[in-house]
């Protein structure tokens, strides 16, 4: 068996990160994986210790070396502060290359950029947006794998460190790369776009996610637009035709702009039927597509990917097959049938991976639109990272809930008091229960109240930011393993 080549040669690595070798000048550099977590290091890993506000990864270098790291980045400042310790480590691990860099995070990005450039034939698709990024990515994977060898972001590795780690999985056999790009600070999209340099880029929407950190939707649009910086004349930028910022996002793009929606120039799209929890049915040219993901926003996400696939020249039957094979993602509008501990059968909607105003509104409206015989039960927890907009957006959620009709509403968290107050002003008769924190005791009380209802065919929505942990309700409620709808 041939030995796997190093992901980057010594020359490629040192020149890309402007690094200097310490105590190992004559040694070759060899690594076949890249890690930022010492627990994930294996033989021949490049270990990149990151420095954060509360953690300094340099203290885990000895652990990484014990587990087989063959190359280690070291911040120059850390090296100068503890030079004797690194001399000791270098003498003990004589086959390890210690690379001194100015900043390990930047070095990770620079090394990843150099690695991507080794694959000039790879067609790179970047996906970003305020919500729906991961679902859009999964739709794209399902479609493009029908005709291409695809490499893609695993999970939600979409950040300033996650994307660089993801691209190190590219191999020569891959034809299309599909990479998600997230952000929670200014200039993050620009940084990671410079690593990937995508030929194609999809913006799903401009919403309110991270508005507390960026200030306004205008600021969010400006940051998201940076994903188009590397879309050249032979590339394509895909923008939702009904977004408030469509004109702004379209301006100044070097490549071709495609505005996606039901009126695609490359295909005839006709929405045929809403199948509720089982998605929708629509026509793509002469093909009838049964798309399994519920919610109008997921249909819109699919349209963006369809527009991209058509620019690749993909066949309608491949696009149809990919769309119909898409699976619901855990924690993202994951719809399941379940038997509760009171033996009642319900539809459980798990949408608690994260929450912002746009996704919360969409989930409420989707749940409210489901036709069922039992109760509608909304369990909604705080939306985080809204900053000074938090009071306003939680209050708006209350206004939406005032119009959902007959329902049982549980609101959890200190910010949700605004939703409760607005809800009761607009609809004093609405059945609402408020809990100021997501404690074990409060979850138990909510579960007991839900289990007291004697209705089959009820629908229960669990929605909130990830840190609110509303998924803790599931073992308190569910008797039998849930089945996907």
The whole-number pLDDT of residue 1 equals 47
Question: Residue 481 has what pLDDT?
Answer: 60
Residue 329 in contact with residue 349, Cβ under 8 Å?
A: no
Q: What is the mean pLDDT of residues 34-48?
A: 95
Torsion of CA 311, 315, 317, 319, to 10 degrees: -20
Q: Say how far apart CA 275 and CA 287 lie, in whole Å.
A: 17
What is the rounded average pLDDT for all residues in the chain? 91
**Per-residue pLDDT, 484:** 59
Distances, alpha carbon 413 to alpha carbons 128, 383, 394, in Å: 29, 9, 11
Task: Look up tokens 């300033």; give the residue.
Answer: 160
Report whether 71 contacts 96 (CB < 8 A). Answer: yes
**Which residue do the tokens 């010492």 mark?**
38
Range 85-95 average pLDDT: 92
Q: If you average pLDDT over residues 435-455, what whole number do you get?
A: 93
Q: Which of 20-29, 268-277, 420-429 has the weakest average pLDDT? A: 20-29
Q: How confident is the model at residue 485 (pLDDT cuts 50, 70, 90)?
A: low
Beta bridge partners of 150: 176
**Interatomic CA distance for residues 273 and 131, integer angstroms:** 24
DSSP annotation of 329 reads B
- Indicate the SS3 state at residue 173: coil
56's tokens: 């300094």
Q: Which two tokens stand for residue 257?
A: 């702009």
Judged by average pLDDT, the poorest of 282-296, 319-333, 359-373 is: 319-333
What distances in angstroms separate CA 123 from CA 177, 316, 347, 395, one per listed residue?
6, 20, 40, 44
CA distance 393 to 391: 6
SS (H, E, C) 3-21: CCCCCCCHHHHHHHHCCEE
Interacting residues of 366 by C-beta distance below 8 A, sequence separation 6+ = 294, 295, 296, 333, 349
> What mean pLDDT do residues 251-271 have?
92
Residue 440 token pair: 């074990």
Confidence of residue 330 (pLDDT cuts 50, 70, 90): low
Sign of the Cα torsion 369, 271, 354, 242 reads negative
3-state secondary structure of 46: strand
Residue ranges in 236-295 assigned as alpha helix (H): 246-250
Distance from C-alpha of 47 to C-alpha of 35, rounded to nearest angstrom: 5
Q: Are 149 and 175 in contact (CB under 8 A)?
A: yes
pLDDT at 302 over 70: yes
Check pLDDT > 70 for residue 98. Answer: yes
Using only the alpha carbons of the chain, give its radius of gyration: 25
Residue/partner pairs of 62-69 with CB below 8 Å, 24 or more apart: 62/89, 63/38, 63/39, 64/35, 64/38, 65/89, 65/92, 65/93, 65/96, 67/38, 67/41, 67/42, 67/43, 68/41, 68/42, 68/43, 68/44, 69/35, 69/41, 69/45, 69/96
* Predicted pLDDT at 174: 97
Residues in the chain: 485
* Model pLDDT, residue 363: 92
Q: Where are the alpha helices (DSSP H) in 133-216?
A: 133-144, 162-167, 188-196, 211-214
Whether residue 190 contacts residue 113, with contact meaning beta carbons closer than 8 Å, is answered with no
Long-range contacts from 266-273, C-beta under 8 angstroms, 24+ separation? 266/307, 266/310, 266/311, 267/306, 267/310, 267/316, 269/303, 269/306, 271/299
Taking each helix axis as running N to C, give the angle between helix 133-144 and helix 296-311, from 0 to 180 degrees, rounded to the nearest 10.
Answer: 40
How far, in Å, are 143, 319, 327 from residue 314 at the CA level? 9, 7, 21
């Amino acid at each position: 068996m041939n030995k796997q080549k190093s992901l980057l040669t010594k020359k490629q690595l040192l020149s890309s990160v402007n690094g200097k070798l310490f105590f190992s000048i004559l040694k070759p550099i060899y690594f076949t994986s890249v890690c930022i977590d010492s627990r994930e290091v294996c033989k021949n890993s490049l270990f990149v210790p990151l420095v954060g506000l509360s953690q300094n990864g340099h203290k885990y270098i000895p652990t990484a070396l014990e587990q087989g790291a063959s190359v280690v980045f070291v911040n120059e400042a850390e090296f100068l502060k503890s030079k004797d310790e690194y001399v000791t480590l270098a003498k003990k691990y004589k086959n390890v290359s210690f690379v001194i860099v100015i900043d390990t995070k930047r070095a990770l990005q620079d090394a990843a950029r150099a690695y991507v450039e080794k694959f000039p034939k790879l067609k790179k698709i970047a996906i970003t947006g305020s919500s729906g990024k991961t679902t859009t990515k999964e739709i794209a994977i399902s479609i493009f794998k029908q005709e291409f060898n695809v490499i893609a972001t695993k999970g939600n590795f979409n950040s300033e460190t996650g994307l660089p780690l993801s691209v190190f999985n590219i191999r020569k056999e891959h034809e299309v790369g599909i990479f998600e790009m997230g952000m929670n600070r200014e200039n993050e999209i620009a940084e990671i776009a410079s690593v990937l340099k995508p030929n194609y880029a999809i913006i799903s929407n401009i919403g309110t996610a991270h508005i507390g950190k960026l200030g306004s939707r205008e600021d969010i649009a400006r940051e998201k637009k940076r994903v188009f910086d590397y879309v050249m004349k032979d590339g394509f930028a895909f923008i939702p035709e009904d977004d408030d910022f469509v004109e702004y996002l379209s301006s100044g793009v070097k490549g071709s702009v495609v505005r996606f929606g039901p009126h695609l120039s490359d295909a005839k799209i006709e929405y045929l039927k809403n199948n509720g929890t089982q998605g929708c049915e629509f026509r793509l040219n002469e093909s009838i597509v049964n798309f399994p993901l519920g919610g109008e926003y997921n249909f819109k996400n699919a349209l963006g990917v369809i527009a991209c696939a058509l620019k690749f020249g993909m066949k309608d039957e491949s696009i149809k097959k990919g769309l119909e094979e898409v699976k619901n993602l855990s924690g993202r509008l994951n719809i399941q049938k379940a038997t509760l501990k009171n033996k009642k059968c319900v539809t459980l909607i798990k949408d608690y991976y994260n929450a912002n105003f746009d996704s919360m509104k969409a989930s409420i409206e989707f749940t409210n639109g489901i036709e069922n015989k039992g109760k509608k039960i909304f369990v909604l927890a705080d939306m985080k990272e809204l900053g000074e907009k938090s009071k306003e957006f939680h209050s708006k959620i209350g206004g939406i809930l005032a119009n959902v009709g007959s329902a049982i509403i549980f609101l959890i968290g200190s910010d949700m008091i605004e939703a409760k107050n607005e809800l009761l002003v607009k609809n004093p008769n609405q059945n609402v229960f408020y809990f100021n924190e997501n404690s074990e005791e409060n979850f138990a009380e909510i579960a007991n109240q839900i289990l007291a209802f004697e209705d089959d065919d009820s629908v229960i929505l669990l929605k909130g930011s990830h840190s609110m942990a509303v998924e803790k309700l599931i073992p308190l409620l569910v008797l039998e393993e849930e089945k996907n709808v």
